[in-house]
Structure 1
């Protein structure tokens, strides 16, 4: 195992100190609770857009996406193309409603549109999903780095968790946004360095593509309609689109940034730039994975037993190729730490704002501004400590990219369905929204737990060890089998068919691609919401405020309301006069 030099540790510690000092700087300049949550709604486009990118690009992308590409090929890169049209839905259907309502959290909208019950059902689900997500983004790089570099696991988790909790709890949204800017540049620099160095070492892009084709990883798009195939055009464009709209349009960590902008037009621009930024980062992550595969195309460290998990491939590559350059491994590892810090701080700040605005303020509405500010900071610190504890438990969750998107589908999918009902189905009532939320969550949980008992098994291109100096021993062969099980992948198509044929009838539903979970759960919520609303009496058009509807729906809905009012208007005496008298 390669180890880090003193200079590497110095760079990592320096990055953590800079992040902490940014929090101190904004804590000193903080003026009010509004400043803490929304930066007094005076943030400009550039930092908000970069923060949106950094929030989305977590350690899951920095380490998990290259691992996904290394194992399965570059199909996941098609997700980047979704960023060209997904912002259209977000900026014209979601942002106008939330921004014009002048709310602090997106869950306040749910009480305005439905009732307190719906608000707290969605709130509880998002709390659970948020904490699990933060545990994953802290644990993932810590484990990968500790295994490959010798960096102590406990130190890594505590360093990320404590520093993030410190600057987030004292500095608020401004500290989170500006640390995101700093950390985003660290991530970009790290990815570019890895791609350039790897490409040069293998002899250029053309040689890299030749090796990818030789390894069966030159297939960019798969139009197969089978929903059990891990990555296809359809799973990415249907499931991926739902996932991105759900994340960018309804998650507090994103909506909070839109609400912090100076104007609605700035919020829209920030959403566009931020989403395009995530596309760039995602393409860099895909290029990193392809570069690493080309580098190890005849001596896979996973198969040979050098590493035990796919998400260790990036730090292993860092140490392998840059060990002779003092300080460079530390710089690249700082990028992984930054990926965790940016995502944890964003979710932690959003959860603290939720707890403050949706719980504390609801129970104690007359609390003074100073007391409220202190309470929220204490809540943020406590939630940070809970996240650190959960990070130590995240080891049971398996493949990080798949797990993260699956958890998002379970908790975020039904919540997304509730927002669809609120924004696009004017006559949906609170009973329908509540039942839809519960039903969608139960279906999502059922599918996820089923996939743990009957994991999807997908065909993957082969990994080679023909160029390794030593033959595989029994230990590494056994390890490879364990890894293949963990990833739920095999390289032999006949084996896939054999395993699936031996499973009990009815379990095929558990093999659905993880990308579809958000879509399925949201669809269940919407269908149940419409049916229950119809059975329990639709909302009367006059009872729904058009400001709570997506603009495209509100325009036609206002006409409908006017028609109803005209029909319900009592007749005037002149209505009964002969035409000649009128």
Structure 2
């Protein structure tokens, strides 16, 4: 058991105080939170840079800071290829989705679904997203608190309460400006943590060359796998297809992200923020992968999991920080604070997003005449309610057992179908509420089917690469292989027994987890497209502002050209009806 010094505790406390102070500043600075528009969109006057940074850290939660390096430690550096698809993601988001949301000036991203389809589609998506977001909030708070309390003398209950209360406070009083500017501070802390771990860890193992030598010895030198087998956990194809679609879903359809785009002062600035934020996320992913490889090089000959120093892979980063920096008072506090910041940034984004959804999708719909002051008070109240719920869920997480695993896997089911529904709305002019709803249902069903199948027939790719204990003082002289499943929202699970699957079921349900978004999103789009050709499926008229700009141009040229052709035929017919009587008269 390692221990934090008094200075470390003071540093951790100081970081939480800074976050709270930013919220207080924006709560009392001018009129920054005196209306719903200002509270959720910052009066659409925030500059691109802080929005871009906020985009990065709102997506970069404890999954990135704690989970990604641990996954790289066990499975190798292939995940680093994810950074290369960010150009594709940024282009699609800024070309297809962002212009529509920004021009419509939506506070809740689901307002679009109401305008494009109907309230059934809107509230079907909203209900699923709100339920999962609330559960995810508890997991976001609990995961790093558990990791930190296990490898240090930090109290688990105190960690959960500190994160939950401070984040709920500054998000509630300060609105989107407090969230964004606090994210900037938290991003700086997280990046400092990555950089210091990479530099100091590399020096401790003898340099980059020695680190790469250890990676090759541990069978972790393969960066790209071009194999076409869909069961390969991280191949070039699963990353560039499934990984790109997953990132497009996260950066193009989530409330917490779209809300940031719409807080910019212009569409041009919003696109600039999106490009910087999405590419910045790629940079952070590279840093996380490099941290994981550095950590492997440090523990290459004495694996802490096999040695028993930690019991779960997601406890490796806190242990690594303490091993590297425990002799420097205050520094472990700063770097472990990065894990708190990862939770705070994600939690604040989701809290503010949930409050916006509640305000725009429920309060404004059912009580549209509510005075602005009462409306603002109500959404702040809901921010507090969601914050309290997240704390309660965090305390329930240890007792959920298999329910927790099911909850985590549901997160992989929602993103693809939701992306499919938005694509139907923005790209397929024929689509209407029935085709969108049927597509959504089929997308969710296919996701559930494959998730359940993967639990019954676990993929062989869940097995990690060899881990050595040659230099451990007690159990040296052997190699072990750790069995681990993929990271799901910041928690790594280690199944103790894996059933021997039938060949067909094992191949079918053993596909890479990155292909799930591909399956569910394409199912939603294809089913919705087919249903749109049924007698009740086609949309009669669609407001052009609800279609993506490039789709507007395409449909305008096609349909206006067809309309002009039909108009010309009608004119010719009318002229013929006038000419024929004259000819008959001439004959007479």
TM-score (norm 1): 0.92
- 1:40 alignment partner in structure 2: 43
2:468 to 444, 461, 464: 464
1:142 to 142, 145, 150: 145
Q: Could you say if the C-alpha distance between residues 557 and 471 of structure 1 is closer, same or farther in structure 2, counting changes exceeding 3 Å?
A: same
- 2:339 alignment partner in structure 1: 336
Q: Could you say if the C-alpha distance between residues 576 and 55 of structure 1 is closer, same or farther in structure 2, counting changes exceeding 3 Å?
A: same
Counterparts of 2:248 and 2:21, CA distance in 1: 34
SS in 2 for 1:172: helix
Which segments of 5 or more consecutive residues in structure 2 lack a partner in the other structure? 488-494, 583-588
Counterparts of 2:438 and 2:317, CA distance in 1: 43
Moved more, 510-519 or 339-348: 510-519
Assess if the C-alpha contact under 8 Å between 2:457 and 2:500 holds in 1. Answer: no
Alpha-carbon shift at residue 198 of structure 1 (Å): 0.3
1:445-524 aligned at under 5 Å gives the runs 445-458=448-461, 459-471=463-475, 484=483, 502-503=501-502, 506-524=505-523
Alpha-carbon shift at residue 538 of structure 1 (Å): 4.2
Alpha-carbon shift at residue 171 of structure 1 (Å): 1.0
1:123-162 aligned at under 5 Å gives the runs 123-162=126-165
Q: Could you say if the C-alpha distance between residues 448 and 124 of structure 1 is closer, same or farther in structure 2, counting changes exceeding 3 Å?
A: same
Q: Does 1:577 align with 2:581?
A: no
Assess if the C-alpha contact under 8 Å between 2:470 and 2:476 holds in 1. Answer: no
Assess if the C-alpha contact under 8 Å between 1:121 and 1:437 holds in 2. Answer: no
Alpha-carbon shift at residue 536 of structure 1 (Å): 3.8
Alpha-carbon shift at residue 387 of structure 1 (Å): 1.1
Alpha-carbon shift at residue 248 of structure 1 (Å): 0.7
Counterparts of 1:579 and 1:212, CA distance in 2: 88
Q: Does 1:60 align with 2:58?
A: no
Alpha-carbon shift at residue 445 of structure 1 (Å): 2.1
- 2:24 alignment partner in structure 1: 24
Counterparts of 2:152 and 2:512, CA distance in 1: 33
2:118 to 108, 115, 118: 115
Moved more, 451-460 or 309-318: 451-460
Counterparts of 1:105 and 1:134, CA distance in 2: 19
Alpha-carbon shift at residue 86 of structure 1 (Å): 1.3
SS in 2 for 1:462: strand
Counterparts of 1:246 and 1:159, CA distance in 2: 31
- 1:216 alignment partner in structure 2: 219
Assess if the C-alpha contact under 8 Å between 2:55 and 2:257 holds in 1. Answer: yes
Alpha-carbon shift at residue 153 of structure 1 (Å): 1.0
Alpha-carbon shift at residue 502 of structure 1 (Å): 4.4
Alpha-carbon shift at residue 392 of structure 1 (Å): 2.7
Assess if the C-alpha contact under 8 Å between 1:546 and 1:557 holds in 2. Answer: no
The one-character-per-residue Cα deviations of 1:9-47 (angstroms, maximum 9, x if unpaired) are 100110001101111111113231110010011111111
Counterparts of 1:410 and 1:377, CA distance in 2: 30
Assess if the C-alpha contact under 8 Å between 1:48 and 1:177 holds in 2. Answer: yes
Counterparts of 2:445 and 2:11, CA distance in 1: 46
The one-character-per-residue Cα deviations of 1:108-154 (angstroms, maximum 9, x if unpaired) are 11111111111111111211232233222211111110101121111
Counterparts of 1:391 and 1:540, CA distance in 2: 44
Assess if the C-alpha contact under 8 Å between 1:405 and 1:514 holds in 2. Answer: no
- 2:585 alignment partner in structure 1: none
1:389 to 392, 409, 413: 392
Alpha-carbon shift at residue 158 of structure 1 (Å): 1.1
Moved more, 204-213 or 525-534: 525-534
Alpha-carbon shift at residue 361 of structure 1 (Å): 0.9
- 2:6 alignment partner in structure 1: 6
Q: Does 1:102 align with 2:78?
A: no
1:333-412 aligned at under 5 Å gives the runs 333-395=336-398, 406-412=409-415
Counterparts of 1:94 and 1:530, CA distance in 2: 19
Q: Could you say if the C-alpha distance between residues 471 and 561 of structure 1 is closer, same or farther in structure 2, counting changes exceeding 3 Å?
A: same
1:234-249 aligned at under 5 Å gives the runs 234-249=237-252
SS in 1 for 2:307: coil
Counterparts of 1:128 and 1:78, CA distance in 2: 32
1:50-89 aligned at under 5 Å gives the runs 50-89=53-92
Alpha-carbon shift at residue 484 of structure 1 (Å): 2.5
- 1:493 alignment partner in structure 2: none
Alpha-carbon shift at residue 448 of structure 1 (Å): 1.9
Assess if the C-alpha contact under 8 Å between 1:33 and 1:369 holds in 2. Answer: yes
SS in 2 for 1:67: helix
- 1:284 alignment partner in structure 2: 287
RMSD across aligned positions (CA):
2.6
- 2:558 alignment partner in structure 1: 560
Alpha-carbon shift at residue 530 of structure 1 (Å): 1.4
- 2:490 alignment partner in structure 1: none
Counterparts of 1:408 and 1:169, CA distance in 2: 25
1:198 to 198, 201, 209: 201
Counterparts of 1:486 and 1:278, CA distance in 2: 24
- 1:531 alignment partner in structure 2: 530
Moved more, 567-576 or 214-223: 567-576
Alpha-carbon shift at residue 460 of structure 1 (Å): 3.0
SS in 2 for 1:535: coil
The one-character-per-residue Cα deviations of 1:196-246 (angstroms, maximum 9, x if unpaired) are 110111111111111111111111011111111211111111110001111
SS in 1 for 2:527: helix
- 1:492 alignment partner in structure 2: none
Alpha-carbon shift at residue 247 of structure 1 (Å): 0.7
Q: Could you say if the C-alpha distance between residues 538 and 342 of structure 1 is closer, same or farther in structure 2, counting changes exceeding 3 Å?
A: same
